[in-house]
Chains A and B, each alone.
Chain A
Amino acid sequence: MHKAGVKKFPYYVGVNSLAELATKDDKVCVLNILGNESKAVTPTSHEYSGGNVVFGTGPGRSGQALETKLGPIPVYNSIKEARAKGLKFNTAVIYLPPSGVKDGVAEVVRQNPDLKKVIILTEKVSIKDARTIRAICQANGIDVFGGNCLGVADAWNKVRIGGALGGNKPEESLVKGSIAIFSNSGNFTTTIATYLLTKGWGTTTSISSGKDVYIHFSPAEFFHALDNDDRSKGAIIYAEPGGYYEHGLEINKPTVACVVGRWKAKLTKACGHAGSLAGSGDDARAKEKWFMDYFGVKDIYTPENPVFSKKGAVVTNIAHIPDALTKVMELNKIKPDFEPKGDLSLKCWFGNSQGLKLPKELDALVVKAIEPYAEQIEIISKQLGAQYPRQSMKDASGATMMDAKTQLTKVYNVSLLDCSKKSLEENLVFSLIKDYPDEYGRTLANLAFNVYVNMHGDAALIAADAAREAESSPNTALASAIAIIGKGRVKHAVNEASLLLELFQHSGLQNATDKFDSAKILKGLTAEQKELFTEKTPHSAIRIPQSEGDKSVFIKFVKEAAGGKPSSDALLAAIWMTLGWSALMRRKISKSTIINLPWYSRIFSAFVAASVDSSKHEKDKFCGVRSQEIIEKWSFTETAFLALIGRKPTADELFEFSMLLGLLISNGPGTISAQGCKGGVSADGPEDPTRVQINKAFIGFLTHTGFAHGGNGYEAIAFLIDRFKDKNLKSPADKKHGLNLKAIADEYAKWYGKYKAKEKAAGNIEYMKVPCVNHPVFKGKAVNYDPRERFVNSLFEEKGIYNVFFDFYHNLVQTLFDNKVSENVYCVNIDAVIAVILLKMVWEPFKAGKISEKEVETAAFTTFLFGRMIGCAAEIDDHINRGRNMDTRTPASSCSFVG
C-alpha cells in the first residue's frame, strides 16, 4: 500500500523535479539536534540555507537551544510539544543513534501530517528497520533519503538539508552550475563537485544517497527528476557494487557514470558501504555494463582511451569524471559553466625526505597550498607549542590512563612500571614536559628543586606548623603551606619565562643546548627588560657554575642580559626554559605550560620543604644537612628521603624509594586525588589559563587524600609491625636475618583461619581481611600473581636487593592456602610492595625508638603524597590545557537525593 505520487512509479515518489528537492520553502526539524554530530553540522547547514531549521528535538532537553550565527534554534522534548507551539515543517532530518531511527521516523510521521521528506544521516541502521521505515513512509507519502547519507544540497537555491555536504564551507564545493550529482558516497558527492570545478562545471542539485541495502531515493527517481529540472543540463552518477538500483534506468540527459569497486567481488562480508556487497549479477563489472549499454559505448573512458558518446561515458576513477563530462558535453554543444578553477595535479603541501636520495618522480616539491589553507599553514608554522581543542575533562584525562584489564596505569603512554625505574626529579620533569630529561636536564632540575627546599623563616612553614599543632593530617598541613605558594610568589619567574618565550619563539632555536648565537636578541633588549633579569639583592639564591650555565642558551642569555648578575627568578625561568624548550618546539607542550614551569617547580620544592616542621629549617641547614651541600651535590630524591627519614639514603634505598614513588604516581583520572586537583582547575576556569591557580589545584589534590586514600598504606605497615615488633629483626635488608618466616606466617594463618571461621559463624561478613593480599582482577588461578608485584620482585632480584617483609608476604600467601584459609594461592598485591619498601626504610629508627608508630604512619602518608604529586601535576597541566570552565560539575539531573 502506498500513497499516490509521481504516476510513473509503481511505488510512492513525491519529488518530480530536482529543483523541488532542496528549496528555500523547505522547513526542517532535526531529531537529536544536540547530538555530537548534529551540533557540529546543523549550524552550518542552517546558516548556509538562510535559516531553514525550525526546531530540533532531544528528549529531556526542552528549553535548550542550538546556537547559530542566525540565532538560536529552539529544542523541544518531542515533535508533539513543538507542534503544539504551532511550529510547522515539511522535512525531518534524523541524527538519532541506529536503534532509535525507526522510532524517530514513526514519531515524526505520526505527529506531522505536513511531512514530505525524511533524511536519515545515521549509519548502521539495521535492514529490518530500513524496510519498516520504507513501509511507513510509502504508506504516508513521504520521500526518504539515506540512511548513512549526507543529505541533499542545491547550489542554486543555496540550501543544504541533512548532513554536511560541502563540509564546514559548503560554498567552496557547491558552486552554481548545470550538473546534477547522485552519489552512493557522501564524501565523493563533495569531492566530485570539487573535481568538476577544475573543468569549469558547477552543480545544481547534489544527492548523497547513502549505500545501505535499502536506497529509498534511487537512481531511477533521480533520473526522472533530472529530466524535469531545466537547470540541470547533465549529470554525474557515482555507483558501487551491490543492488539492482542502476538496472533498467531511463537516462535522457548527458551523464557520466562512475562505477568503482571491482575488487569487492571477492568480498564475503561488507567493507565500507553496508550495501556494497554484490551478489551474482550486481557486481561492479555488471554495473559498468549496464551503463555502457545505456550510453551505447563499448569501453570504459580513460584519458588514454577516451570512449564516450553523446549520451555519456563510464569511468572507474573519479579523477576522470571532469574530462569525460567535458567531452560528452562538447558533443551536446554544451559549454562549461565558468572558467576552470584549479587542477587535479599532485600538490604536496607538507614534505620532508629526511635526507634520503629519492628518485625524481617521488621527490615532490612542497608547493603553496590554495587559499585559505596557505594562510593557515603560514599561521600554524608560526604557532608554538601544543594546541588542544577544549572539551569537558570530567572523568577524562589526556595525561593518565588506567587499563582496567591489566590494572596498569600509564602516564603520557609510559607505564608506571617504567616510571618507577626513574628518579623523583626525572618523573617530576616528565609529568610536565612529557619527556625524561637527559643528564644535564637532571642536574638543572635538581638545582631548581633543591635551592628552594630550605624555607627558613617562610610563612608557608608557619602555616604548616600551625596546622600540625591543630592535629591536622599530613596532607592538610601540606595544603596550608602550598596555599602560600600563590601566583604572587612566582610572578617574577613566570614573567621572565614569558619574556624569554617572547624573545626566542621565532628565533629558530630548536633545542636549548644547541649552538646558537643570541647576540641579536641580546642587542634588541630594552633597559627595562635587562632590569627584569637582574638580581636586586646582594646575592642570588641560585648559582650556576659557568661550565654548566654555558651549555644552555637561556642561562647564558640571562646572565649576559643581567650583566653577570642574574636574579634567582631569571635563572629559575632560564632553567625551565632549557628543560621545556625542545618539547615546546615539537608541540608536545603548550606555551601556557612552559611559562608556568617555575611555579610548579616552587610547589614541588615546598611539598618536600613543608613535610618537616620549621625546626628542621635552619638558616644554612635543612634537616641537619648544609643547604649548600644539598644544592650542589644532592638529588631531589635524596632530599625527599632526608625529609622523611632524617638521613641520606644508601644506593639501594634510593633505588627502592624512587621505585616506590614511581608506583604511586597515578591510578588514572578517576581516583579521588586526581578528581580533587581537576576540580581545582575546573573551578578557576581553564579557558583562561592565566586565571588558574596552580597551587590551589594542588591543594585540591591534597584535600582529596586522607586516612582512607593515601593514608591507608599504613594498615599493611601496622600489620607487619605486629608480626615483627617482638622478633629480633635488626636489618630488613639482611637475608641472614635468622627468622623463620614460614613459621611466623603459619602462626598467623592458623590464627586467622580460626578468627575468620568464628566471625563467619557469628554472621559477621565484615570481618578483618589480611591486608595487601588477593586482588579483584588477579584471582581465580591455582597460584595468582599481580604482574606489578612480579615486576618489582624481578627488579629486586636482579639488583640483589632483599626485603624481609616482602619475603614474609610471599610466605604468607602460601601458608594461607596451606592452612585452607584461601581457596588458591592469593597474589601479593601492589599495595604490599609499597608497604614493605616503606617499612624497610623506617625499620631501624623505629626499632631503635627514634621514631614512633605515629611518625611511621606520617612518613607512609607523606610518601604517598610525594609520589602522587607527580601524577597530579600531569593531571593539573592537562586539565588547564584541554578543559572547559566548570567542566567537572555533575548536572542536577544525574544527582540523586537519598533523604
Chain B
Amino acid sequence: MQLTGLLWGGKLLKKVEFPCADVLGPEASVDEIKDLIKKKGQVFIKPIFKGGVGKKGKSGLIGKASDITAALQEKERLYFAKHPAGTSKADGVTFEGGVPAKHEVYFSLSESTVFRAPTMTITHHGGVDIEELGKDKIKEIPFDPLTGLKSFHIANALEELGAPSEIISPLVQHLPKLWTLYNNYGMNVLELNPIRMFQDNAGRLIPVACDFKCSFDIDDPAWKRLDLPAHLFASDYSEFEQEINQLRTYQGQSDVFVINEKGTITAPTFGGGANALVTELLGERATISSDFGGNPPYTKMLEISKIVFKYWLGQSNVLFIIGGKANNTDIYETFRAMADALRWYFQTYGPKPIYVVVGRGGPNLIRGMAYMKDTVESLGLPYRFFGFDSAMSEVVNYALKTDEWMEKEGKKQLKEKMGI
C-alpha cells in the first residue's frame, strides 16, 4: 500500500504541520494555475500514479512551466502518461509551485533489518537517487522506537556529514514531526526527496517537501484513521486480490498474488515456505501465488476457495492443492471447505475438465483426503493425492507434467468422459 506524490502526501504532511510545496490537483482551473505561477514564478507538472512506481524525473515525466500555455501543454502531455518502468498509467497531473532554494535534502524513515530498529536516512545532497551517492555522503541512524526520532539524532548526523550549518537548525526543528506521522499512521517507509530549503522574507530557511512517498503496513490499522479514499490503493491490487483481501483476518493467512492471468495451474498453497517453493517451481504456469496456511476456519476457507475458483478454475487444467506436513492447520476442515467450494463451483458454473493433484500432511490428514476424494469422485474428476512423505518438489513436477498432458490431450479426453 503505497502513496506517492504531493497531492495526497501534502495532506498528510499538513497533519503534522510540515511545510510542503503548494500543490493543485488535476481539477485546477486555468486561473488557479495562473495564480500559482504568479506566486511561485514557475510550476512543476507531474503525472499522478496510484500506488508505487519508479522515478518520474528519470523518465522525463516531470514538466516545468513559467507561463500558462506551457503549463497546459505539459498537462496534456502528462495527463495519461505511461510509466516506462511498469504498466502504470497516470490519472491526471498535479501542479506544484516551484520552491527556489540553494540546498536540497534527502530524508527517509524506514525499518532497518540491519539495526532491527526504525532508522533515519539523511543527506544534504538530496534531489538525486540515494543509491547514486557514496556511503560517506549518507547517514543511517537507528533510534529507539520508544522515544522516537529526536532533534539530536538529526543534529549529530548532519554535523558528521558536514552539512552547511545554516540548514541544521531548521531541519532539527521540523524533521522530528515526520516521526509523528510515520509512527502514528502505520507507515513503514516515509521518504521526502527533495526537501528544498526555502528562504523566507526574514531570511530564515524553511524545509519544504517537494515530493512525497510512503508505504503503509497492511497489518497496522492506524492508516485507516487518515480517511484516505480507497481508490488510492486500488491499483495495488487486482479485482481478485481485493476480493480476497476483504477476508483478511488474523485467523489464517489469505495472501494472494496474481502470477499469470493466463496460467493453467491453480494452486491453493498452504504455508509461507510452500508458497515460496511452489510458486518458484510452477513459474508462469501458475495463475496465482497463495498462502492459505495458519489454520483458517472452515467458513473462511470456503469463502476464499469460492473466490479463487470463481476467478481461476475456468481456465485451469490442474487444481493443485499443496502444502507440507501441517503443524497446526486442520486438514479435514480446510479440505472439506475446498471440496465444498469445488462442488459449489460445479453447481454454479457447470462442470469443468480439471485434474486434481494434492500433496499435503498434517492433523486429520486422512479424513480430509477422504472427504476430498469423495467429492472429486462424485464430480467425475481424475485425481492423485500424494502423502507428505513424497518430496514437495516432486509433487510439483507431477502437477506440471499433468498440466502439459491436459493441455495436449487430457482436457479433450476428459471433456468427452464428462459429457461437456
Residues of A within 8 A of B (CB): 1, 11, 36-37, 40-41, 97-99, 122-129, 131-132, 134-136, 150, 163-168, 173, 183-188, 190-191, 194-195, 211, 213-216, 218, 238, 240, 242-245, 247, 260-264, 267-276, 280, 282, 316-319, 342-359, 361-362, 364, 369-370, 373, 376-377, 380-381, 387, 389, 413, 586-587
A167-B273 in contact (CB<8A): no
Main SS class of interface, A: loop
B186 in contact with A128 (CB, 8 Å): yes
Contact B366–A380 (Cβ < 8 Å): yes
B28 at the A/B interface (Cβ < 8 Å)?
no
Q: Is A264 a contact of B366 with CB atoms below 8 Å? A: no
Q: How far is the CA of A195 from the CA of B417 in the complex (A)?
A: 39
Given A167-B325, A167-B361, A352-B382, 12 more pairs with CB closer than 8 A: A131-B118, A183-B273, A186-B272, A190-B324, A191-B325, A271-B255, A274-B219, A275-B113, A317-B393, A347-B390, A348-B386, A587-B370
Chain B, residue nearest A98 (CB): B250
Q: Which residues of A contact B386 (CB under 8 A)?
A: 346-349, 364
Contact B384 A364 (CB under 8 A): yes
- CB neighbours (8 Å) of B373 from chain A are 350, 352
> With A and B bound together, what is the CA distance between A272 and B391 in angstroms?
20
A238 close to B273 (CB less than 8 A): yes
Binary interface encoding of chain B residues 269-290 relative to chain A, with 1 for a CB under 8 A from any of its CBs, else 0: 0111111110111010000011
In the complex, chain A residues whose CB is within 8 Å of the CB of B367 = 376, 380, 387
Is B289 touching A317 in the complex (CB atoms < 8 A)?
no
Known: A352-B383, A380-B366. A261 touches B280 (CB 8 A): yes
> B176 contacts the other chain (Cβ, under 8 Å)?
no
Stretch from B65-73, B96-104, B165-173, B397-405 forming part of the interface with A: B397-405
A750 CB, nearest partner CB in chain B, Å: 46
Do A318 and B277 touch (CB < 8 A)?
A: yes
**What residues on A are CB-neighbors of B275 within 8 Å?**
271-273
Q: A139: nearest residue on chain B (CB-CB)?
A: B146
Given the complex, which residues of B lie within 8 Å of A242, measured CB to CB? Answer: 113
With the chains together, A11 CA to B378 CA distance in Å?
59
- Write out the residue numbers on chain A whose beta carbons fall within 8 Å of the beta carbon of B378: 586
CB contact between B295 and one of A37, A359, A586 (< 8 Å): that residue: A37
Q: How far is the CA of A269 from the CA of B340 in the complex (A)?
A: 30
B276 and A167 within 8 A (CB): no
B261 CB, nearest partner CB in chain A, Å: 14
CB < 8 Å A-B pair total: 285
Residues of B with C-beta under 8 A to A276:
272, 276
Contact residues of B between 343 and 372, Cβ < 8 Å to A: 343-344, 347, 358, 361-363, 365-367, 369-371
> In the complex the two chains form, is A344's CB within 8 Å of B389's CB?
yes
A-B contact pairs, 27 of them (CB 8 A): A123-B294, A127-B217, A167-B325, A167-B328, A185-B273, A187-B324, A187-B327, A191-B273, A243-B113, A247-B114, A260-B273, A263-B279, A269-B236, A271-B291, A272-B275, A272-B289, A319-B391, A319-B393, A344-B394, A346-B390, A348-B386, A350-B384, A362-B401, A380-B366, A389-B333, A587-B371, A587-B374
Which residues of the partner chain A approach B273 to less than 8 Å between Cβ atoms? 183-188, 191, 238, 240, 260, 318
Closest to B384 in A: A351
Bound Cα distance from A233 to B392, whole angstroms: 26
Q: Are A135 and B366 in contact (CB under 8 A)?
A: no
**Which residues of chain A are near B131, meaning CB under 8 Å?**
280
Q: Determine the chain A residues whose CB is within 8 A of the CB of B256 once the complex forms.
A: 271
Task: Map CB proximity to A onto B374-416 as digits: 1 under 8 Å, 0 otherwise.
Answer: 1001101111111111111111001001100100001001100
Question: Is the beta-carbon distance between A369 and B387 smaller than 8 angstroms?
Answer: yes
The answer to whether the Cβ of B155 comes within 8 Å of any Cβ in the partner chain is: no
CB A418 to nearest CB in B, in angstroms, measures 10
Contact A128 B220, CB 8 Å, known A190-B327, A361-B401: yes
With both chains docked as a complex, state the minimum distance between the C-beta of A471 and any C-beta of chain B, in angstroms. Answer: 45
User: Which 3 interchain pairs have the tightest Cβ spacing?
Assistant: A185-B273, A126-B220, A272-B275
Q: CB of B151 within 8 A of chain A?
A: no
Kindly name the residue among A98, A132, A213 whose own CB sees the greatest number of chain B CB atoms within 10 A: A213
Taking A11-B116, A98-B219, A364-B398 as contacts, is the C-beta distance between A185 and B385 under 8 angstroms? no
- A356 & B410 in contact (Cβ 8 Å cutoff): yes
CB distance from B290 to the nearest CB of A (A): 8
Q: Determine if A126 and B186 form an interchain contact, defined as CB atoms under 8 angstroms apart.
A: yes
Indicate if the CB atoms of B277 and A345 lie closer than 8 Å: no
Q: With A and B bound together, what is the CA distance between A345 and B386 in angstroms?
A: 10
Closest chain B residue to A268, Cβ basis: B52
User: CB-CB < 8 A to B133: which residues of A?
Assistant: none
Query: Is there contact, CB below 8 Å, between A40 and B277?
Result: no
Q: How far is the CB of B148 from chain A (nearest CB, A)?
A: 11
**Contacts A345-B390, A586-B374 known; A122 to B250 CB distance under 8 Å?**
yes
What size tier do the contact residues of chain B reach? 35 or more
Whether the pair A128, B146 counts as a contact (CB closer than 8 A) is no
> Which residues on B sit within 8 Å (CB–CB) of A317?
277, 281, 393
Choice from B51, B218, B392, B417 contacting A354 with Cβ under 8 Å: B417
Residues A211 and B272 in contact, CB atoms below 8 Å apart? yes
Docked CA distance A244–B392 (Å): 27
Q: Say whether A262 contacts B280, CB under 8 Å.
A: yes
- Contact B387–A373 (Cβ < 8 Å): yes
Whether, in the assembled complex, B183 has its beta carbon less than 8 Å from a beta carbon of chain A, the answer is yes
Contact with A along B227-252 (1 / 0, CB 8 A): 00000000011000000000000110
Expressed in whole angstroms, the minimum distance between the Cβ of A309 and any Cβ of chain B is 23
Q: Please indicate the chain B residues that have their CB under 8 angstroms from the CB of A381 in the complex.
A: 370
Which residue of chain A has its CB nearest to the CB of B289? Answer: A271
Instruction: Chain B residues near A380: list those with CB within 8 A.
Output: 366-367, 370
CB pair A187 B293 closer than 8 Å: yes
Residue numbers in A under 8 Å from B333 (CB-CB): 389
Cβ of B398: which chain A residues have Cβ within 8 Å of it? 346, 362, 364
Residues of A within 8 A of B410 (CB): 356, 358
Contact of A167 among B220, B344, B363, B371 (CB under 8 A): B363
Q: A127 with B111: in contact, given A37-B295, A213-B188, A261-B276 (CB under 8 Å)?
A: yes
Chain A residues whose CB sits within 8 angstroms of the CB of B274 once the complex forms: 185, 187-188
A354 touches B380 (CB 8 A): yes
> In the complex, which residues of chain A have a beta carbon less than 8 angstroms from the beta carbon of B188?
127, 213
B253 at the interface (CB under 8 A from A): yes
Q: Complex formed: what's the CA distance from A393 to B370 in Å?
A: 24
Picked from A167, A342, A389, the residue with its CB within 8 Å of the CB of B326 is A167
Any A CB within 8 A of the CB of B311: no
Could you tell me if A131 and B272 are in contact, using CB atoms closer than 8 angstroms?
Answer: no
CB-CB under 8 A from A122, the residues of chain B are 250
Q: How far is the CB of A868 from chain B (nearest CB, A)?
A: 24
Contact status of A240 and B272, CB under 8 A, knowing A131-B118, A348-B386: yes
Q: In the complex the two chains form, what is the Cα distance from A357 to B380 in whole Å?
A: 15
Partner of A127, one of B219, B295, B323: B219
Residues of A within 8 A of B414 (CB): 354, 356
User: CB-CB < 8 A to A413: which residues of B?
Assistant: 340, 343-344, 347
- List residues of chain A with CB within 8 A of the CB of B31: none
Q: Which residues of A contact B114 (CB under 8 A)?
A: 244, 247
In the bound complex, residues from chain B placing their C-beta under 8 Å from that of A346 are 386, 390-391, 394-395, 398
Contact check, B402 vs A362: say whether CB atoms are below 8 A apart.
Answer: yes
Please, which residue of chain A has its CB at the minimum distance from the CB of B144? A135
* Chain A residue at minimal CB-CB distance from B293: A187
Query: B residues within 8 A CB of A127?
Result: 111, 188, 217, 219-220
- A31, chain B: closest CB distance, angstroms: 15
Q: Once the chains bind, are B327 and A150 in contact (CB under 8 Å)? A: yes
| Any A CB within 8 A of the CB of B145 | yes
- Which residue of B is nearest A269, CB measured? B236
The answer to whether A128 and B257 touch across the interface, beta carbons within 8 angstroms, is no
Interface centre among B51, B256, B363, B417 (most CB of A within 10 A): B363
Q: Which residues of chain A come closer than 8 Å to B291, judged between CB atoms?
A: 271-273
B1 at the interface (CB under 8 A from A): yes
- CB <8 Å contact, B280 and A260: yes
Query: Of all chain A residues, which has the CB nearest B256?
Result: A271
Q: In the complex, are the beta carbons of A318 and B393 less than 8 A apart?
A: yes
Chain B nearest Cβ from A638, distance in angstroms: 30
Whether B405 lies near A351 (C-beta < 8 A) is: no
